[in-house]
Structure 1
Amino acid sequence: MQEDEPTGGTVNAVAQLAEERKKQVRDEWSARLTSLAETRDKAVFSQLFVYFAPRVKAYIVRLGMPLATAEEVTQEAMLSVWRKAHMFNSTKASASTWIFTLARNLCIDRLRREKAVEYELPEEEPDPDQRDMAEHSVIEERMNLAIAQLPENQAQVLHLSYYEGKSHSEIAEQLGIPLGSVKSRLRLAFSKLKAHWGEDA
């Protein structure tokens, strides 16, 4: 009986460390979102975009949206993050909870517009702010243009990270390059995206 106790204690300690790490990550992203609201720093937005966009897309697909629609709603959701960051309150929700709520509300709006009654999402009030679809189109076009102007190796890792939702380690394995090279290429891509988005700032 006593022999089992150290093992159980180790498992509990590992679980506690994992939970603490999760909380640390949540707090870090909440701090970034708060920073975005205060500074409107496009580099911070790029970090949020690359991290959350593939997760939001996967979440929307799990809600039953077709892939093409999920990609459109993901773009809308991330645009809403940029436009509504000032509404985020870290004392009420984490960044991930707030962003996924934005995405779910957009899904509900989309389904109501399309009258797709076969989907049964939780009934909630639609996002009250008017979404400027023309602005969304311009933002998406600029993002695509910025990515197209990146060197091929940087655009490749950005595509795998965002559009395919792969982790850094998965990208490294797929491309046969060191993990550090993946992170370096993403950092360089962020820098160029920041410069591109800052043209009109």
Structure 2
Amino acid sequence: MTDDTKQRQDNPLLQHAMASLVANVAKGDREAFAQLFSHYAPRLKGFMMRKGVDADVAEELVQETMLAVWNKARLYSPGKGSVTTWIYTIARNLRIDRLRRQSAEIFYDIDDYDEASDEPSSEEELIRHEQETQVADAIETLPKDQLDVISLAYVDDLSQAEIAERLEVPLGTVKSRMRLAYQKLREALGNRA
């Protein structure tokens, strides 16, 4: 991600303007929707094409994404992430749904093969960074006993029985702490799409 791209995407004024547009779309404002569409449609098409989607399908997915934005605008919550993250998550989910619905694998002629770059796009970097920050912030809100259980399970890759043994607590206590931790993380992270 170039410094210029990062500055544009991290610009609080741009983020605020986009959040205001989504709020207006939630009220049925077609002009606000047109502004969102003109800003995001070309970026979404490029995102889809970098993910290996052909141009026609990319156009369809952009239309489906923006239709979902129109229909779900009232569900957007600025506290859960930027408008960009929200819209790209919708687009990503629609692309995955499309791939799952395809009945036959598409084969390409080897002459048409153009190896995609391993470098993530600036949009993908922004989404990944925001998601990592949200998860880290949510984890920091966990009480120490729940954080210890989650850490042992995912960092040290221990089973619940091994965690109970290491912490010298009953297995039921480990299960309870894990359940409470998952519940708090779900509440903190909410539904991203």
Q: Normalising to structure 1: TM-score of the pair?
A: 0.47
Q: Which has the larger radius of gyration?
A: 2
Q: Normalising to structure 2: TM-score of the pair?
A: 0.48
